[in-house]
């Protein structure tokens, strides 16, 4: 049973002639970590909006096909109900934080859902612990760094105990090391809580080694998808996608005549591939 199931989804915004999503079909399993990438304007954010009901309930337009999340027809389920199932984190965390303290921001969604006070207190404590930010509890969100704000935004979503978390370029405003810490955190939430993660990212350098699957979109369609090691063996430059440095290096080496059975993604995998090549040389 898939947690997300999209069948032949087409969407165009009201007042626009262009179809922005053009026949997207996608199944995501519970606990999967999926990275969605593709050039600007290919429809990634539009796809995210279809997964929590913002499309078509808030952003109107013409929609064809079906979207099912956790067994619910997203087009017919109130956005407020979807919000407790699918959490959404955006590029700019400050757009999601507006209370005077971190604690209040993390509790906000739960208060809206009418969760009892005791339960709110427990869940806020738990979410702050999970994100490693209990010491930020009484700080003002607008005074925090971008990375800290993004952790607060994720804690606020996590406190709702969603089944799926979607992050739409969450590290767009963060430096590489802070981005890396956010990605590692997502992987931890994914493995510890079996949370399904859909991460929209341009920065594939770090994100792709966490992914069970990479999905490349172009022109409102899914053009390539699969295990990152297979995906990066293809020429993605036509879709405006730049693979991480290790696969790029190995593709270049392959272009110089070296043969590899597979393309590694991490330094550890690269070492193993080199070992195999080395052994082959020894034997001949």
Ligand X SMILES: Nc1ncnc2c1ncn2[C@@H]1O[C@H](COP(=O)(O)OP(=O)(O)O)[C@@H](O)[C@H]1O
Closest approach of Cβ 172 to Mg ion, in Å? 9
20 binds, among Mg ion, ligand X, none (CB under 5 to 8 A by kind): ligand X
Residue closer to ligand X by CB (options 144, 166) is 166
Interface segment toward ligand X; rule CB under 6 A; list 34-42, 125-133, 149-157, 175-183: 34-42
Identify whether the C-beta of residue 167 lies closer than 8 Å to the C-beta of residue 203: no
Kindly state whether residue 44 participates in binding ligand X, applying the rule CB under 6 A: yes
Kindly state whether residue 20 participates in binding ligand X, applying the rule CB under 6 A: yes
Nearest to 222 by CA among 13, 1, 3, 7: 7
Identify whether the C-beta of residue 41 lies closer than 8 Å to the C-beta of residue 205: no
Residue closer to ligand X by CB (options 86, 106) is 86
Rounded CA-CA distance 155/97 in Å is: 11
Closest approach of Cβ 55 to ligand X, in Å? 9
Kindly state whether residue 46 participates in binding Mg ion, applying the rule CB under 5 A: no
Kindly state whether residue 150 participates in binding Mg ion, applying the rule CB under 5 A: no
Kindly state whether residue 95 participates in binding ligand X, applying the rule CB under 6 A: no
Residue closer to ligand X by CB (options 156, 216) is 216
138 binds, among ligand X, Mg ion, none (CB under 5 to 8 A by kind): none
Name the pairing type of β-strands 21-29 and 2-13: antiparallel
Q: Cis bond leading into 56, ω under 30°?
A: yes
Nearest to 45 by CA among 88, 95, 74, 97: 88
Name the pairing type of β-strands 213-218 and 221-226: antiparallel
Interface segment toward ligand X; rule CB under 6 A; list 35-43, 183-191, 222-230, 248-256: 35-43
Nearest to 179 by CA among 160, 161, 157, 202: 202
Kindly state whether residue 52 participates in binding ligand X, applying the rule CB under 6 A: no
Which residues contact ligand X by CB under 6 A? Answer: 13, 16, 20, 38, 40-46, 59
């Amino acid at each position: 049973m898939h947690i997300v199931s999209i069948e032949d989804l087409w969407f165009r915004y009201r007042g626009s002639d262009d179809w922005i999503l053009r026949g997207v079909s996608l199944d995501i399993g519970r606990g999967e970590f999926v990275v969605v990438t593709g050039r600007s304007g290919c429809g990634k954010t539009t796809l995210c909006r279809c997964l929590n009901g913002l499309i078509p309930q808030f952003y109107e337009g013409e929609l064809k096909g079906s979207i099912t999340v956790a067994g619910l027809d997203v087009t017919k389920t109130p956005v407020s109900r979807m919000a407790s199932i699918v959490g959404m984190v955006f590029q700019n965390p400050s757009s999601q934080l507006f209370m005077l303290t971190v604690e209040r921001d993390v509790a906000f969604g739960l208060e809206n859902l009418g969760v009892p006070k005791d339960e709110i207190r427990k869940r806020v404590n738990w979410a702050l612990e999970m994100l490693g930010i209990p010491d930020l509890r009484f700080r003002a969100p607008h005074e925090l760094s971008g990375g800290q704000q993004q952790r607060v935004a994720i804690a606020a979503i996590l406190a709702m105990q969603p089944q799926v978390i979607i992050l739409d370029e969450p590290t767009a405003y963060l430096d590489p090391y802070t981005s890396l810490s956010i990605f590692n955190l997502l992987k931890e939430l994914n493995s510890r809580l079996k949370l399904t993660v859909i991460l929209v990212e341009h920065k594939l350098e770090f994100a792709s080694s966490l992914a069970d699957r990479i999905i490349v979109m172009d022109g409102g369609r899914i053009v390539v998808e699969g295990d990152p090691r297979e995906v990066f063996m293809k020429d993605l430059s036509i879709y405006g996608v730049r693979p991480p440095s290790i696969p790029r290096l190995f593709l270049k080496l392959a272009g110089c005549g070296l043969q590899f059975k597979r393309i590694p993604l991490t330094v550890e995998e690269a070492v193993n591939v080199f070992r195999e090549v080395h052994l082959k040389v020894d034997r001949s």
